[in-house]
Chains A and B, each alone.
Chain A
Amino acid sequence: MTRTDLEYSPAAAGDEAMLPSPYRITQRREDTADTVTLAMEPLSGEQPSFVAGSFMMVEAFGVGEVPISISGDPTRPGPLEHTIRDVGAVTHALVDSEPGTVLGVRGPYGNGWNVADGVGGDLVVVAGGIGLAPLRPALLEAFSRRGDFDRVVLLYGARRSEDVLYADQLVAWRERFDIDVQITVDYRTPDWDGRVGLVTGLVPRAGFDPNRTLALVCGPEVMMRLVATSLIDRGVPASRVRLSMERNMHCGVGLCGHCQLRELFLCVDGPVLSYDRLDPLMTVPEL
């Protein structure tokens, strides 16, 4: 896509809420073969603040608009960061966009992880695949006030070594020694000498006190359910296990109806919800 500028003409006052604002890509980092992180800045005006766990609607002009979690640091002003995996027409166009390209952005939408609820106890972050992206702001927020937590544990599972997201940062976090970083891959490749197996398998042996834990989980739905069950088996209350749910987020403001999960509008009631609320809904196929 070429360097572009956009003009906007809302049909009437108020309608601009549904129209994206133009953001220019300032940096593009290839995280894995199919995943990039784009840093963006608004062409005009202030960049909105956001809470860790919230998402935005990101548009490739003329192609479409998709919900993408914010993966940047919520505690510091800086460019807006989105980590995007190439899974469809819109994300393909986004992943292909070079620095200088203007994209459309609406939001932020949805609630957040509320990391502060874990202060005084242990924080356990469990991520699968690109599920690490929406959890990165939560980790960065926790690091910004590291002394307020007891243990901070990151359990991360990727399919193969080449799919490990933010590899440099994972190394750096591991070197901090005040965060327990454990990484596993589903399939061994010659370059991997670490752990092999599902991320679920890391939960039983991880060092945390279940009675004083806040757990944040993001990944494929089946992985989240198994991790939640495993955490609860260890004694973490279901109300202290939070999952980030994915549905068809479309308008972002609770009006279009696409993201409903029974009584929940996941774009405003979620995406982050505790497992006591989700358990009866996640166990029903096609709900």
Chain B
Amino acid sequence: MIDSPVDNTTQRAAGSAVVVGRAGLQTLVDVLATRGYTVLGPTVRDGAIIHSKITSLDDLPQGWGDTQEAGRYRLRRRGDDALFGFASGAQSAKPTLYPTSVMLGRRSRNGNGAPTSVGTPPADAGESGDGASAGPYALLGVRSCDLHAIGIHDWVLGGRPDAGPDPDYERRRRDLFLVAVTCGDPSGTCFCASMGTGPRPDRGYDLALTELLDDQTHQFLLEPGSPLGANVLAQLPGRPAEDADLAAAHQVAQSAAGRMGRTLDTDGLREILYSAVNSLVWEDIAARCLACENCTMVCPTCFCTSIDDTTDLTGTTTERRRVWDSCFSSAFSGVHGRSIRTTVASRYRQWMTHKLASWIDQFGTSGCVGCGRCITWCPASIDLTAEAANLRAERNGANGAQASRALRRTT
């Protein structure tokens, strides 16, 4: 797992890095396809950046950027030809590695003892990759925040000492080829710099890409992160990277780190959340939260699932699927005839406390990688970083106005 913060401050040595042009990047896509990968990359669809199957650089969001704020996501024209000039879209690697619905098996019964034929599971493969026959995938353009989220899932789902592993996740993960990209233009809800998870990919990738774009040139620095990545890199037409290229890539990350739209002070956050169980801030949030589950769906680390059975009308065949679930539903904490968490306040508390505090006890890291998706995609514009700051202020007693605002809202 990923256990130390990303070092955005040190410029790297040229080593085995290669610089390619647009043609070289196209060759990368071609080489990956030739090697049997379904290449998924960012594309523009329905006014958003969506992971889709790509075959050509023309599929990429050339010249597109985005504007993100709490409860707001809009694409914008950049005024340049950047291929990766946007921040995180709604999708992380999660839908690819841990699809919304995965078939676990099908069972049949009969009433007279005669064998019943049992069907094979449908390979209902979509772009997000449901069905075990889909893939292997190569993901192009994975942000550093999402790389860290994969690192977290590798631990949570990949067979930690006390649980698992999830066999479907293991299969998909084993076959995945990761092309990471340095974030050059973070959004208004980004805070990976606070979480030590970006913006420059530091490990956990096969190839790391940094887009180097100025008035004269449009190039891509490619750094290998695995033997397989180096092997693919050797097939690409490019030139060895020079110190100037590394310096330029370093500058891209440095500049991005300084333009994060949000910050999260993680110092003592676990203790703050544990001691805030009875805080009025939860009531204040609950007055706005719709319990719509968007935050848990877009979160790259939220992993809760339900084991769902669907039985046909005759009652003879039942399908068992693993589907995404969310701690924002009342059924989530249901025990016979009742729910443990009946209030939205208790559910938001569960989500935020798990993400930022109990996750540390369970898995050794924060469950937040600073991607900002939960803020962008919240229809009520609830801001995790602001609420964390409210809890801190309440604890410090330094912000009486904040506490009284919470009190006013609840009385």
Contact = CB atoms under 8 A, between A and B. Distances in A.
Which of B119, B166, B170, B361 gathers most chain A CB within 10 Å?
A: B166
A12 B167 contact: yes
Contact of B320 (A18, A263, A284): A18
Contacts, number: 150
B303 A260 contact: no
Which of B274, B303, B322, B340 gathers most chain A CB within 10 Å?
A: B340
B162 interface: yes
B105 A10 contact: yes
Contact of B107 (A13, A19, A64): A19
A258 B105 CA distance: 21
Contact of A257 (B102, B304, B361): B304
A275 to B, nearest CB: 18
Interface string A253-287: 11111101011010011000000000000001111
B170 A18 contact: no
Given A246-B335, A265-B362, A253 B164 contact: yes
A2 interface: yes
B108 A6 contact: yes
Interface in B293-350: 303-307, 309, 311, 315, 318, 320, 322, 325, 327, 332-337, 340-343, 346, 350
A114 to B, nearest CB: 17
Contacts of A149: none
Interface string B155-179: 0110000111011101100000000
A248 B171 CA distance: 28
Interface residues of A, number: 49
B317 to A, nearest CB: 9
30 contacts: A2-B111, A4-B110, A4-B111, A7-B108, A7-B109, A9-B121, A10-B104, A11-B106, A11-B121, A11-B132, A14-B171, A15-B104, A18-B104, A61-B311, A64-B309, A66-B336, A102-B109, A246-B335, A248-B335, A251-B307, A253-B164, A255-B163, A255-B305, A258-B325, A262-B358, A263-B358, A286-B340, A286-B342, A287-B277, A287-B350
Interface of B: 102-111, 113, 115-116, 118-121, 132, 156-157, 162-164, 166-168, 170-171, 274, 277-278, 303-307, 309, 311, 315, 318, 320, 322, 325, 327, 332-337, 340-343, 346, 350, 353-354, 358, 361-362
